[in-house]
Every structure is written in C-alpha cells, then in structure tokens.
Chains A and B, each alone.
Chain A
C-alpha cells in the first residue's frame, strides 16, 4: 500500500543543535512534497514545498529540505535550532494523479531545550 512514514516520533535536542527529520514515501509516480509545522496551540503551517527542479529546497525560518528521488525520501534540516522550533512536524505527499490530496506522515514531535 502507498504510504508516507516519518523516521522518528519524538526528538529532543538542545538549542543550537542541528535538526534532521527523515520522511519516506512509497508512491511510484510523480509527487509534490511538503513539510508542515504545527506549533503548540496553533494550526498547521507550510514550512516548505518541493514540486520540481533543484532537490535542495530552502523554506522559511532557516529550514531546508533535500529530496532524494532514488530513495523516495525527503529530509527536513535546520543547522541550528532555537527553543521556538519546538513543534510537531509533518511531511506530506501529493501524488499528481490524486489531484490536491495530501497524505501525511505520522508526525515528529520536536522538543528544543533552552
């Protein structure tokens, strides 16, 4: 079955540490890729998106993503996190054949300790 999976459920790290969250999908066709963030008490917000072109994508707030097509993966990275990056992060895949339907990964809760 087609699926989207995130490698970690919980990540705890200190400020200034580097963050990398992995996401894999199993769709065989062309896909659009997204990372969303949900800060405590807030709604989902788009962090970055990949449609085509350069596999290294820069998003907001210092986040970037690398799409590795051969491995069906796209990894979210931030070189130096801040306490305010504490949130839940979701990757999502939109197969082009599915219109605008998004399939989400299970989410990763990130806690940044001050």
Chain B
C-alpha cells in the first residue's frame, strides 16, 4: 500500500523555539494532506487541510499563525509549530489522500511525530 512518512518521529525543544515536522508521501503524489493532533488517551483532532500550491484550510479554533503549514510539492507538506509552549506538546499525525475523488480516496497515515516542549 501507499506509504506516508513523517520526520522527526520525536522532537524535544525549549519553550519559545519553532519546530518543523515533515510529512512525505513516498510512493504517490498527494494534492491534499491532513494534519491531526492527538492528545494523550484522546482521539485524533483535525487541525488543517493542506493543499498543494495553495493556502491551508484550518479548522475552527486552530491558530494559523501558530501552526504554519506549507505544501510546496505533491509529496511534501510541513507543519511548523512557531514559538512552541508546553501546551503544544502533543502527538502530530499527517495523512495523505491516495487517488479518486472524495468518495473513494483512501487516506494513509504517517507514523506520527511526538513533540515535547520543555
């Protein structure tokens, strides 16, 4: 099946710094990628939809300036957590849609990136 890879898988940073997480579709092109956030023992919450060549669409309550998303190519989307604070510590997961339209396009998920802000 299609493979989506995230990097880094774990990152620890100091409060106030910025962290970039990459999401790559390894063997297919993805015009649309999705970024999720998962809190401990909770479900995945959609943060934003990343569209190749255009601005990302953010879900209600997600700060655009805090979570910068860039989808510069058909195989790469990046999420940058700017001026990170301890409350940004979480598990971030990306997914990419393979083929088809909205009815049939299957989503493949990356392995996730665990961010810890000290």
A, B from the same assembly: yes
Task: Please report A residues at the B interface, Cβ cutoff 8 Å.
Answer: 9, 32, 36, 42-46, 49, 51, 90, 94, 96, 99-107
Pairwise interchain contact B49-A101, C-beta atoms closer than 8 A: yes
Among A44, A45, A90, A103, the one with the most B-chain Cβ atoms within 10 Å of its Cβ is A44
Contact check: which of A96, A100, A104, A107 meets B32 at CB < 8 Å? A100
What are the residues of chain B within 8 A of A44 when measuring CB–CB? 93, 95, 109
Q: What are 20 inter-chain pairs, A to B, with CB distance below 8 A?
A: A43-B93, A43-B111, A43-B112, A44-B93, A45-B109, A46-B106, A46-B108, A51-B104, A90-B43, A96-B103, A100-B102, A100-B105, A101-B34, A102-B34, A102-B46, A104-B36, A104-B43, A104-B45, A106-B42, A107-B42
Query: What DSSP secondary structure best describes chain B's contact surface?
Result: strand
Please give me the 5 A-B residue pairs with the lowest Cβ-Cβ distance, nearest first: A44-B109, A43-B111, A104-B43, A106-B43, A104-B44
Pairwise interchain contact A32-B106, C-beta atoms closer than 8 A: no
A104 to B36, CA, bound (A): 10
| B97 proximal to A (CB < 8 A) | yes
A106 to B42, CA, bound (A): 6
Pairwise interchain contact B46-A100, C-beta atoms closer than 8 A: no
CB distance from B49 to the nearest CB of A (A): 7
A32-B46 contact in complex given A44-B93, A44-B109, A100-B32, C-beta closer than 8 Å: no
Which residues of chain B from 63 to 118 have any CB-CB distance to chain A below 8 Å in the complex? Answer: 93, 95, 97, 102-112
Other than the known A46-B107, A100-B97, what 18 A-B pairs have Cβ atoms closer than 8 Å? A32-B103, A43-B109, A43-B112, A44-B109, A45-B109, A46-B106, A46-B108, A51-B103, A51-B104, A90-B44, A100-B102, A101-B34, A101-B49, A102-B46, A102-B107, A103-B46, A106-B42, A106-B43
Task: Please report B residues at the A interface, Cβ cutoff 8 Å.
Answer: 4, 32, 34, 36, 41-46, 49, 93, 95, 97, 102-112
A34 (CB) vs chain B CBs: closest residue: B107
